[in-house]
Amino acid sequence: MRGGSVAVVGGSIAGCAAALAASRGGAERITVLERADARLRDRGVGIALHSDRYDELRDAGYVAPEMPWAPLTRRVWSVRDGEADHGRAIGEQPFPFRAYSWGSLWSELRRRVPERVSYRSGAVVTGVEPDAEGVTLRLADGHQERFDVVIGADGYRSVVREAMFPGADASYAGYVGWRGTSPDVADLPADGNDAHNIVFPGGHCMIYRIPDGAGGHRLNWVLYTAPPQVDGLHPDLRTPTSLPPGRLNSELTGHLRALVAEHFPPYWAARVLRTPAETTFIQPIYDLEVPHYTSGRMALVGDAASVARPHIGGGSVKALQDATALEAAWVAGDSWEEVLANYDARRGPVGAAMVALARRMGDAQVENTPDWSAMDQAAFDGWWQEQNSGSDRRSGFGGHSMKGR
């Protein structure tokens, strides 16, 4: 399918990848509409790509070795053990991942979007009006534009998804991720290539280093737990939102800091508690499934299509894989209908499988945590296996394998 006009709503990682897919697929005119006024806000958070998924995406041309990354080789799960500085390890796993910072990965993808693609910052889409032959987008500045196809890459609050499936909103999982980054990496245990999971009743915290964009590293961490059920302690999290620095309720922050001081081994507690307030924020955790990835002349990629809880370690992988599948469907299809039908058939089941697995992991690792302190390596291995039982053998921790498709 060659030619035609395409709009990509959203210019983040998923949007840049979708624009690249449309270009390679043969679209004649491509416009990316990003609501942010200038450079997308980079809160410094980390992204980890499973090494096998990286290889597949590299071969597909969506990631490259020169993108700054840090190796991860092992994940160590630890529990507080009195005043032992690093606590006690209850389980270790191979962890063949590559750690990136969100900002550097986005920058590299943005750089790869062809110059002929019109990337428009500050373009806020307020309305999406489909018909049989295309889609009209209404913008906040009063203008409207018509396209043959519109791709929604605008995240879990997608206006494109709302037009496709009204009321199909992300659902609050009942807990949050408290995230932060700091330069506190001078004396990490071992060689710094380990990811550390600090576990406690009602949640866990994952900690690993990421590139800082200047040849060094930063410490990246995210703590998952349910906030206390106290009126006024936090806003209504059932409506998809995020709480950036400056909007964090002091009582909620105090609760999380007290949790760290009580349950973390002293070494890791110090690193979390020393993280500057301006580099911490709250990310409520959501689930989302859609009936289809396409409807009429509209398609969804990334978190606009499905949102799996972060425990699966495959969110960015899925967004990039969505783009590769869209490109493949574009190249093979002879009509818009065929392109979009093939894309939906390839990605819909994958998204559903990843959401289901991530829910099981969230239940085991946050909502109904085991007695971590009673575990040894054998018990840990059995507990981990239970989370993955019944999974599609190609959809597991780290994302879905593209091999064989």
Q: What is the pLDDT of residues 182-216, one digit of tens each?
A: 999 888 876 679 999 999 999 999 999 999 878 88
Residues 80/265, Cβ–Cβ less than 8 Å: yes
Rounded CA separation 184/220 (Å): 10
Reduced to 3 states, what is the DSSP secondary structure of residue 242?
coil
Helix spans in 27-86 (H): 51-60
Could you tell me the two tokens for 314? 């495959």
The DSSP string of 10-47 is --SHHHHHHHHHHHHHT-SEEEEEE-SSSSPP----EE
> Sheet harboring 46-50: ordered strands across?
46-50, 88-101, 70-79, 194-200, 203-211, 217-225, 171-182, 280-287
Where do the domains of the chain lie, and which CATH numbers do they carry? 5-42+104-169+288-367 (3.50.50.60)
Q: Are strands 294-295 and 298-300 parallel, antiparallel or unpaired?
A: antiparallel
Q: What angle do CA 49, 55, 57 make, to 5 degrees?
A: 75
pLDDT at position 250: 76
Tokens encoding 34: 């990003």
| pLDDT tens figures, 113-131 | 999 999 999 999 999 999 9
**What whole-number distance in Å separates Cα of residue 45 and Cα of residue 40?**
13
pLDDT, tens digit (0-9, with 9 covering 90-100), for 329-372:
999 999 999 999 999 999 999 999 899 999 999 999 999 999 99
Radius of gyration for the alpha carbons in the chain, expressed in angstroms and rounded: 21
Is pLDDT above 70 for 93? yes
Residue 324, pLDDT > 80, answer yes
Please report the pLDDT score of residue 405 as a whole number.
47
- Characterize the bridge pairing of strands 125-131 and 280-287: unpaired
Both tokens of residue 266?
Answer: 């002293």
Q: What average pLDDT does the segment 10-28 reach?
A: 96
pLDDT of residue 402: 81
* Angstrom distance (rounded) from CA 371 to CA 199: 10
| Helices assigned H by DSSP within 298-373 | 315-332, 336-362
The 10 Å Cβ neighbour count of residue 247 is 12
pLDDT > 80? residue 231: no
- The H or E element containing residue 379 is helix 377-388
Q: How far apart are CA 149 and CA 27, in angstroms?
A: 10
Per-residue model confidence (pLDDT) at position 213: 79
Q: Quote the pLDDT of residue 30.
A: 98
Task: Place 262 in a pLDDT band, splitting at 50, 70 and 90.
Answer: very high
Coil vs helix vs strand at 48: strand
Burial class (CB in 10 A: 0-12, 13-18, 19+), 38: exposed
Structure tokens at 261: 């001081």
Residue 109 token pair: 């993808």
Helix 315-332 vs helix 13-25: crossing angle, to nearest 10 = 20
Residue type present at position 100: Y
By C-alpha distance, which of 120, 99, 60 is closest to 402?
60
Lowest mean pLDDT among 18-27, 196-205, 245-254, 295-304: 245-254
Q: How many other C-beta atoms can be found within 10 angstroms of the C-beta atom of residue 179?
A: 23
Q: Over range 388-394, report the average pLDDT.
A: 65
Q: Is 221 exposed, middle or buried (0-12, 13-18, 19+ CB in 10 A)?
A: buried
Instruction: Round the average pLDDT of the chain to a whole number and report it.
Output: 90
| Among 32-46, 48-62, 100-114, 193-207, the least confident range | 32-46
Please compute the mean of the pLDDT values over residues 91-100 and round it to a whole number: 94
Q: Helices marked H in 176-286 — which ranges?
A: 250-263, 266-273
From the list 27, 21, 20, the residue with the least C-alpha distance to 3 is 27
